[in-house]
Structure 1
Amino acid sequence: MCAIFGIIGKYHKDLAINAFETMKHRGDDENYLFLQDNYLFGSYRLSITNTHISLKTLTHQDNLDIFFNGEIYNYQALGDELNLKNPTEHSVIATAYRRWGDKFINHLNGMYAIAIWDKLELKLFRDPLGKKPLYYYHDSKTFVFASEAKAILALITPHLRYEQIPSYLGFCTTISPNTLFKKIHKLQAGECLHLQNNLYTSTIIKELKPKHTSSINAINEVKNQLLSSVEKRIPKEQEVACLLSGGLDSSLIASMATKYLKDKKLHTFSIGYDGYTRHDERIYASQVAKHINSVHTEINFSKKDFLVAFDEVMELLDEPIADSASIPLYWLCKEIKQAGFKVVLSGDGSDELFFGYKHYTELKEIEPMTKIKHRHWLLNHINANFTMHKEWEWYRRVAEGSLLFRGSSNLFTDKQLNKFLKINVKNNTTFDIIKKYYNYFLSIDAHYLNWYSYIDIKTQVGELFLTKIDRMSMSSSLEVRSPFLDIDLVEMALGIDADYRFGDSPKHIIKTIATDYLPHDIIYRKKKGFNYPYMEWLLESHFMKSIHAVQSRYEIFKSSEVEKLIENAKKGHFHHHLYAIIVFCVWLDKKEKLFKKLN
């Protein structure tokens, strides 16, 4: 299944069916709609596992109705443990729930959003990394849940939550449970929601818990766990493809995957930009494809393609996502689906777990300053010499004594939010948004390097990247699986001594593992980071008009500051900041008809 939907309470049948159909792009193989007087449930299916069994048959298990989006990779092992003959994911979910109650998700390895209807009680569950989305809406008469907010938006007149704009600009997306819509929420990663008599409660059932791993055995244990993770994600009933950028992570996943395909060849796909050599890494992807003997497809992404894709992505997004990688990923997923695939592997998660980003090293060098006595004396001097550069903000936080690192997706700082927004944003707003994560982290750990990984897994990966991956791939009924984000591997990595995991060079653990699978020059070439000429193309496009259109109607931003930002972007500076504003304005311009009023 790839989309789930439900209404508990009074509903209009035609409107409900129309709302359900807004998600048909997520699963094009089969759908099932279960209607009763005071409730309705539905699923769309991308048929990957147990393809010979109908969706209706799968749904009804042990006097429970199970509506499930995702994959349970260990369902067969759990089926044996639960003494099930011919287990399916649905039957395992039902039986595990009967045996272990809400904590059954502690036994699952996979990506999922699950709804269980049990004698007029509803339970919703989401996997501990937030791979599969689940939104919900509640008022005095009705409760609605859906895999995408657009199904809920089809039933209500939404209102924009101005107070969530700093979250979007601050982290490139809203942070669960909040959205940009009043009364619409996201179920948090690892959370369970219980609804009865139109009253609901929720609690986090499954949190990330580091599993101690000896530094002596770390490389072998990570290697074995990663191999197991790759193997689990290769479907038995479908062919699998792999996203191949030519970088270390996707190359390692592709190479490992070939070991489990027996007599079949892996299909790999990469995307590049003719005429923009410094952004184009297809030459490296091609080198890896030859090394692993994959069937390789290269796709050129032109300015014309970008403008078409950007417009289509802005239409399909229910909330803006300030990640420029969304656009080529969307295009690439369409091509992979057209090539006949339903499942594709990716290398996401490695940089966050094994310290692949340059700024981790930069921050590590600054951390000792947080212990300097009387550092607050520097604060007035720093505040009097503001710049937009991230380093200015880092030193301001050090002088102030506030949390230095707030995640790799932390884009607009508090000072920048006040500089660009007309609403007043108090100091440390970005910290307040992630404070719940910091409080939990302090209860299990205290090492700042582990904080770097933890907050990035929760926000950059969990809220931004996985949302991007889900929307871009599922728009084409394509499922992306990320072996580095296997829950067992994540908790193992977080349990390795932080100083050892950081090491003397970025991702030294992964590089050591890769020596058995990849050429030396692929492993050790300088990391370029994802980039392409998106801002050059946007600045020349009609989409820039949306900034002025939105400003003339709503005056959300300070126009003079936005104009300065545009001029800076033309000179090659602060592209990501301007991209976030462009995306928000184009999105709001397109979605305006949804809103009754903006208040």
Structure 2
Amino acid sequence: MCRIYGTFNTRTGDRELRTAAALLHHGGPDARSFVRGADWALGNNRLSIMDPQGGAQPYHHDGVVVVFNGELYNHEELRARLRGRGFHFEDRCDGSILPALYLTYGDSFAEHLDGMFAVAVIDLRAEPRLVLATDPAGMKSLYYSWDARTGVLHFASEIPALLSFPDVRTREDELGLDAYLASKTPFGERTMFEGIDVLPPAATATASHADGLRIGRRSLGYESAEAAASGRSLEEAGGELRAALETEVSRLLTADVPVAAITSGGLDSSLVTALAARAARGALHTFNIAYTGRWPGDERAYAARVAESVGTTHHQVEIDPASFPELLSDVVWHLGQPNADPITLSTFSLFRAVRDAGFKVALTGDAADELFAGYSRMSQALAAPEGADWSGAYLDHLAAVPRALRARLYTDDYAATVRARPALPPELHAALAHGNGSRLTRICEAEQRYRLPAYHLRRVDHLSMASSVEARIPFCQPAIVRFAAGLPDAHRLTAAGVKRALYAAAGGLVPDAVLDRPKQPFTLPVTAMLAPGQRLWEMARDVLSPVSLRADGRLRADTVEALFTEQAERPSDTSSLALWSLMGHQLWRRQFFNGATRFDTAVQAPHALEGAAA
């Protein structure tokens, strides 16, 4: 697991590369290196998970140079195959197979990888050529800035490092605020910055002097999944799913450093925990987060019940809500752009506790809801009659601020501006309303293609790596994604309940107290915490002051003031999330567009890392 960065078709100096490396230090504190040629450069910050003594990056072989961020779970199988083709490997690190794999399969090399990854290849066998590849789920992000006029490309695993390159000139996307409020973070390849995009899942991009930048898409893993035989019972499907998950969880426990599990107390993480504890033969540590004081939605008792039932060493992390204003600055920085889910603070704090306890890897239960239909908005969409605008209502459920409230929030000038560009990708509407398959199939595919990578997986990746922890996600494994896509609708969601196959898989493994409890989201109880007298309330009042809003010019100060009044008198999830989201956006603007940034204090001393010229 690492952080990577680089440039193409431009001369990049050591100082620029050291600055980018310094800004990515948290994600790769164990080793840093870069290599550069006349008009290209690749850099890597390493978090050592597999073969800590080997695996030095960049990898070199016969005119091919590679840097890599991620984890490859089938590297032993690929290594054996490549040895049969005459390649020799000096270590057993997963990434060291990549040059040989590229030399064997060319641009299609990523089709052979099973894992989470962002890979950058420089092919020097003729004119220099850059190849970038991302994993099918979108677990490992790669942001880039492409200047079509000059043919110059910069890329990095995180936005702050990308912005540190002097040639990357960007500004706030004025319409990004609307996209953010409509989906809690921009979907697709879009970011909150003009001039910066993010590679989509399953992307293979190539850049050359002759052809410029070209971005292709590989299979996401569920398009070709065949529906299971109609005669298979729910219990049989649950058994097959349990067996598949057991295999994947066991594979994801493989590491040369200690591995832990995140246990929220809900079904998904509890099932992963139970399977991991069985595979680890009781030598597993689990972590749960809660908040000082009495708050709604506290799940610590359920997490403790799971840990006790499967025999883990359990760590109960507790943080004081009074510390949240200070934490928000770090969270906003590491995310690089706003994410409206209050869970960001919990996620950041939880992985920091995992690191402080001595763990570099943690398994999580993320992505199960998107695959197996676990959200109430899905049930509501399926219940809507034919002819109703169910897709429009469904998309409004994804918003941080619903359409009607956004209309009241925007100034006249900004409302006129946003009409020129849709907040959500137009193809998302078309895929939901007119795509192939059943209504539930279209919903789950839309969730996996658009919402899961942008809103969910980037958040987990950035906030775990902020503390030098690798988050591994069994539910994102290709075998599980294909299995979920092949389930009939009735094995995912009916009036009888959500995630039916997953509940069937968990029977007998997860305590009944967890299986029988009502579903609730794993998030911060922001509706209760954003109240007069609380530190978050004071911070929100300051950040969303009328003076600040009028200076921005896009939001009506009187409407925001009315939201504060409503939240104080009649607290609700709608008003609290709207205020939280607006505060996050303003804090992001302060960090990235007002005055000095952390680039000014980045470690740039020559001894910060070792550079090597190609």
TM-score of the aligned structures, taking structure 1 as reference length: 0.88
Contact 2:55 2:93 in 1 (8 A): no
Aligned residues: 565
Is the contact made by 2:21 and 2:32 (CA closer than 8 Å) also made in structure 1? Answer: no
Aligned to 2:219: 206
Query: Is 2:201 the partner of 1:189?
Result: yes
CA apart distance, 1:527:
1.5
- 1:223 matched residue in structure 2: 242
Q: For residues 411-426 of structure 1, what are the structure 2 equivalents within 5 Å?
A: 411-422=400-411, 423-424=414-415
The 5 A counterparts of 1:304-453 are: 304-366=322-384, 368-370=385-387, 397=389, 403-406=392-395, 409-422=398-411, 423-424=414-415, 433-437=424-428, 445-453=436-444
Tell me, in whole angstroms, the C-alpha distance in 2 between the residues paired with 1:362 and 1:430.
28
Q: CA deviation at 1:585?
A: 0.9
> Residue type of the partner of 2:491?
Y
Question: What's 2:453 paired with?
Answer: 462
Give, in whole Å, the separation in 1 of the partners of 2:75 and 2:433.
Answer: 33
By how many angstroms is 1:16 displaced?
3.3
Instruction: Output one character per residue of 1:399-447: Cα deviation in whole Å (capped at 9) or x when no partner.
Output: xxx6443385333344433322231268999977233345567897321
Q: Which residue of 1 aligns with 2:530?
A: 535
Distance verdict in 2 for CA 1:421–1:443, change over 3 Å: closer
Q: Equivalents in 2 of 1:490, 1:591: separation in Å?
A: 36
User: 2: distance between equivalents of 1:276 and 1:303?
Assistant: 11
| Greater displacement, 313-322 / 325-334 | 313-322
2:499 is aligned to 507
Q: Could you say which residue in structure 1 is the equivalent of 2:154?
A: 144
- Describe the SS at the equivalent of 1:540: helix
What is the letter of the counterpart of residue 277 of structure 2? T
2:320 to 297, 302, 325: 302
Amino acid at match of 1:114: V
Whether the 8 Å CA contact 1:113–1:134 is kept in 2: the answer is yes
Shift of 1:317: 3.2
Paired position in structure 1 for 2:80 = 80
Stretch moving more, 151-160 or 25-34: 151-160
Letter paired with 2:530: M
Rounded to whole Å, the distance in 2 between the matches of 1:107 and 1:443 is 32
Q: Does 1:13 align with 2:14?
A: yes
Task: Name the residue aligned to 2:542.
Answer: 545
Which amino acid counterpart does residue 460 of structure 1 have in structure 2? Answer: R
Contact 1:158-1:182 at 8 Å conserved across structures: yes
Deviations 1:456-484 (A, max 9, x none): 22233211111111111111111111111
**Preserved contact between residue 501 and residue 509 of structure 1 (Cα < 8 Å):** yes
Distance in 1, Cα, partners of 2:16 & 2:295: 50
Write the distance in 1 (CA, Å) between the matches of 2:312 and 2:3.
32
Which residue pairs with 1:245 in the alignment?
A: 264
Please give the secondary structure, in 2, of the residue aligned with 1:271: strand
Q: Compared with structure 1, are the counterparts of its residues 441 and 359 closer, same or farther at alpha carbon in structure 2 (3 Å cutoff)?
A: closer
Classify 1:136/1:421 alpha carbon distance in 2 versus 1 (closer, same or farther; 3 Å): same
CA drift of 1:591 comes to 2.1
Deviations 1:8-40 (A, max 9, x none): 212343233212321111011111111333222
Residue identity opposite 1:67 in structure 2: V
Please state whether the residue corresponding to 2:543 is helix, strand or coil: helix
CA distance in 2, matches of 1:591, 1:50: 37
Which residue is 1:383 aligned to? none
Which of 558, 561, 575 is residue 559 of structure 2 equivalent to? 561
Distance in 2 (CA, whole Å) between partners of 1:445 and 1:16 is 46
Q: Does 1:236 align with 2:248?
A: no
- Relative to the length of structure 2, the TM-score reads 0.86
C-alpha deviations, 1:509-543, integer Å up to 9, x for none?
11111113122122111123234244234553234
CA distance in 1, matches of 2:183, 2:318: 30
Equivalent residue for 1:523, pick from 515, 529, 539? 515
C-alpha change, 1:44 and 1:407, in structure 2 (3 Å) is farther
1:106 deviates by 2.1
In structure 2, distance between residues paired with 1:18 and 1:219: 50
Counterpart residue identity of residue 73, structure 1: Y
State the Cα distance separating 1:194 from its structure 2 match. Answer: 0.8
Find out whether 1:256 has 2:268 as its counterpart. no
Tell me the residue number matched to 2:131: 123
* Alignment partner, residue 381 of structure 1: none
Q: Secondary structure at the match of 2:544?
A: helix
1:34 aligns to what SS in structure 2? Answer: strand
Q: What is the distance in 2 between the residues matched to 1:475 and 1:491? A: 31
Gaps of 5+ in 1: 372-396
Cα distance in 1 for residues equivalent to 2:278 and 2:299: 24
Match status 1:267 vs 2:259:
no
Structure 1 match to 2:480: 489
How far does the alpha carbon of each residue in 1:123-152 deviate from its partner, in whole angstroms, 9 at most, with x for none? 111111110010111222631110011112
SS in 2 for 1:48: coil
1:22 alignment counterpart: 23
Structure 1 residues 523 and 35: CA distance shift in structure 2, 3 A:
same
| Contact persistence 2:378–2:394 (CA under 8 A) | no
- What SS is found at the alignment partner of 2:315? strand
Paired position in structure 2 for 1:478: 469
Identity of aligned residues (%): 25
Distance (Å, rounded) in 2 between the aligned partners of 1:128 and 1:107: 11
CA 1:101–1:442 in 2, change beyond 3 Å: closer, same or farther? farther
Distance 1:425 1:483 in 2: 44
Closer, same or farther in 2 for the Cα pair 1:35/1:431, shift >3 Å? closer
SS of residue matched to 2:591: helix
In the other structure, the counterpart of 2:603 is none
Which is worse superposed, 518-527 or 24-33?
518-527
8 Å Cα contact 1:546/1:589 also seen in 2 = no
1:338-357 Cα deviation digits (max 9, x unpaired): 11100001111112222222
Q: Distance in 1 between matches of 2:596 and 2:146?
A: 18
8 Å contact kept, 2:290–2:317: yes
C-alpha distance after superposition, 1:75-103 (max 9, x if no partner):
11222333366554334332332333322
Residue type of the alignment partner of 2:520? K
In structure 2, the partner of 1:389 is none
Residue 41 of structure 2 corresponds to which residue in structure 1? 40
Give the distance between the partners of 2:268 and 2:169, measured in 1 at CA. Answer: 43
Q: Within 1, Cα distance between the matches of 2:435 and 2:246? A: 28
Per-residue deviation, 1:114: 0.6
Mean CA deviation greater in 290-299 or 495-504: 495-504
What SS does the aligned partner of 1:553 have? Answer: helix
